[in-house]
Copies of this chain bind each other. A is one copy, B any other.
Amino acid sequence: MQEKKPQKKKKELKVKFSPFDVSIDVPYGTTLLDCIQNANLPLKTTCGGKGTCGDCVVQVVSGKFRTKSSAALPGPLASQGYVLACQTEVTDDIAVQLPQFREIEIKSIVDSKFFIEKREEISGVHELNAAIKKIDLQLSSPSLEDNYSDLKRIEQQLHKKLPIKKLSCEYSVLKKLAHAVREDKGKISVVLFFTDSDAAIIDVFPQSEKKKIFGIACDIGTTTVALHLVNLQNGKIEATTSSLNQQITCGEDIISRINYAKKPGRLGKLHELIILTINKLIEKAAKSARISPEDIYFGSFSGNTTMLHLFLNLDPQYIRLEPYVPTFNQVSTILNRDVGIKMNPEGRIICSPAVGSYVGGDITAGLLITPILKDSKKTSLFIDAGTNGELVIGKREWLVTCACSAGPAFEGSGIKCGMPASEGAIEAVEIRKDGALKYTVINGSKPKGVCGSGLVDLLAELFVNGYIDRHGKFKMEKAGEKIVDSEEGKGFLIAEGKNSFWGKDLVITEIDIKNLIRTKGAVYSACMVLLKNVGLGFDKIDSVYIAGGFGQHLNIDNAIRIGLLPDLDRDKFHYIGNSSLLGSYLILLADKNKDMVNETAEKMTYIELNTEPGYMNEYTGALFLPHTDIKLFPSVMQLLKL
């Protein structure tokens, strides 16, 4: 006799989005665009769902769906599972990739020309003496005459080997001790966390397990998060991963995240999103290096003050309220089990110190990659043009700093054709004498968009070749034939649809150009205010170090031509990329670097631009290409033959 089981009618279908790790349940037949909007994911569409703009391209990775073909989606893409979200209905549990938000590739700058050449000049030491160490011990066999406790025998051996003053032992280690010391005949390894001359035993295992220990250095950017997985026994970077900060679904910049966090439960959500972002990067790095995340015992984190507050689940509200008082600038070591990073629960977390609410640990860590903290002779200027722009000027004896709201334009956000410096990004642009636009694409494929360094080039080339005026407006007499209509107004054609990855024209609009000008203006004017404040002219600056997410190569000439950087001798400039990440790496490697940044953060003078009288004037003057006062840019004057 057979029983007929009633078929359960499945009403809701699951749609899973990567890279955001967001899932929603929707009824059969819902369009993907509605799913994305319901899930509050950052995918914009210009045509409003008519299937004409092609903005809502997504890739269906698994599951069945029903889609209409569209002229806005080229055939080759369709064959790889790309669809227009507005033209596609969900008929199954499906997994969708939002391609604009794909992983960002950040390269380690440890192997960069800059780092190799300047290694001796930078402030941070590049040597291995981490606060976390693995020590091998051989315990004697206990007997009736020598029956010290397991812990005591370890303590005795450690005191013999190392000059430790106060030695403590984590509770979780006590719980493993009896087994560990008996497993391999007293041959054990202990993992120690050192604080000055004190040490805590944070793990123990039989030597037969042949474990290595690892650490992570991580830069928590407002837009992107990047991470090095480091072998703590030789200092080698075993893997580098990076991705969008998933908090971006809750706001693009610091202020919008702080505002988002106001309502109950939302601070927790922001915290979870950054932990999720970091944990995915660790997972990926651990997989590629073939290690277990349990073997990661140390994390060195940098980020702006707000990011580090959210990372530690601390309310950031007071950061944006006068007098801008954060909960902490410097904090002692934190236990990972309080934070929940995917590493050993007994692992230790350290955060680079902030100077104030708007000059954070990313800046202090970044300074390690410059000579500024140890050089008494030269005066240096450090510019980090991230979502926020931060500047530092000074030398070993004195340091002055300020911050400005630059916006993430040069990181590829908020610009129609912008994207992070990853596969498919145009990273360099040149307009030839014949008017042809020449570009270089990362990994050489068809272009998907333009990253920071490409945008700097594009803006400079449009300007010096007379396609735009000093306000950033198109000069139609010159640019006319290159200008196309787009949903967001007139746009300069960078690549035609047939030549672009998404099959649609790649353009830069006047709105985008305004945005870029505002960003470069914010940075430059902050620079001016800082200099005036310390009573120095640009002529007194010996070196300029530029950090930020522009991409691999920043064309300094072009950055000067648009007025982002001051018009100084080109050999004074050093583009150092993600110095926050590299600074975290140096802090991870050697406690000496941590002490150095902690002392630095204490002694820096912070200028609050919000209340600085001259700033708005300076900013307004900088909203031109390269500047209202073009005399500040003699090389540009010369180029333009003014």
Residues of A within 8 A of B (CB): 142-144, 146-152, 166-169, 171-172, 174-175, 177-179, 182, 195-196, 312-315, 317-318, 322-335, 338-339, 354, 356-357, 608, 611
Cβ A171 vs Cβ B325 within 8 A: no
Known: A152-B330, A169-B332, A356-B147. A175 touches B325 (CB 8 A): no
Across-interface contacts of A166 in B (CB, < 8 A): 195-196
Across-interface contacts of A175 in B (CB, < 8 A): 312-314
Cβ B150 vs Cβ A326 within 8 A: yes
Cβ B168 vs Cβ A327 within 8 A: no
Across-interface contacts of A317 in B (CB, < 8 A): 178
Q: Chain B CB within 10 Å — which of A167, A195, A313, A327 has the most? A: A327
Cβ B149 vs Cβ A327 within 8 A: yes
Q: How many copies of this chain does one complex carry?
A: 2
Cβ B149 vs Cβ A312 within 8 A: no
Across-interface contacts of A178 in B (CB, < 8 A): 314-315, 317-318, 327
Across-interface contacts of A322 in B (CB, < 8 A): 144
> Secondary structure of the A side of the interface?
loop
9 A-B pairs with the lowest CB-CB distances in the bound complex, closest first:
A168-B332, A171-B338, A151-B328, A149-B329, A147-B323, A142-B325, A144-B323, A149-B326, A149-B328
Q: In this complex, what residue of B is CB-closest to A182? A: B318
Docked Cα-Cα span, A335 to B172, in Å, equals 11
Task: Select A327's contact among B151, B314, B334, beta carbons within 8 Å.
Answer: B151
Across-interface contacts of A611 in B (CB, < 8 A): 144
Cβ B328 vs Cβ A171 within 8 A: no
Given A147-B325, A149-B330, A171-B338: 4 more A-B contacts, CB < 8 Å: A144-B322, A146-B323, A150-B328, A171-B334
Across-interface contacts of A339 in B (CB, < 8 A): 171
Across-interface contacts of A329 in B (CB, < 8 A): 148-149, 151-152
Give me 18 A-to-B residue pairs in the complex whose CB atoms sit less than 8 angstroms apart, sorted by A's number. Answer: A144-B324, A144-B611, A146-B323, A148-B329, A149-B326, A149-B328, A149-B330, A149-B354, A150-B325, A151-B330, A152-B329, A171-B312, A171-B334, A171-B335, A171-B339, A177-B314, A178-B317, A182-B318
Known: A149-B329, A151-B331, A328-B150. A174 touches B312 (CB 8 A): yes
Cβ B334 vs Cβ A142 within 8 A: no
Minimum CB–CB distance from A87 to chain B (whole Å) comes to 47
Across-interface contacts of A331 in B (CB, < 8 A): 151, 169, 174
Across-interface contacts of A147 in B (CB, < 8 A): 323-325, 356-357
Docked Cα-Cα span, A611 to B315, in Å, equals 62
Q: Chain B CB within 10 Å — which of A182, A196, A323, A354 has the most? A: A323
Across-interface contacts of A328 in B (CB, < 8 A): 149-152, 169, 174, 177
Docked Cα-Cα span, A610 to B280, in Å, equals 57
Docked Cα-Cα span, A177 to B331, in Å, equals 13
Across-interface contacts of A150 in B (CB, < 8 A): 318, 325-328
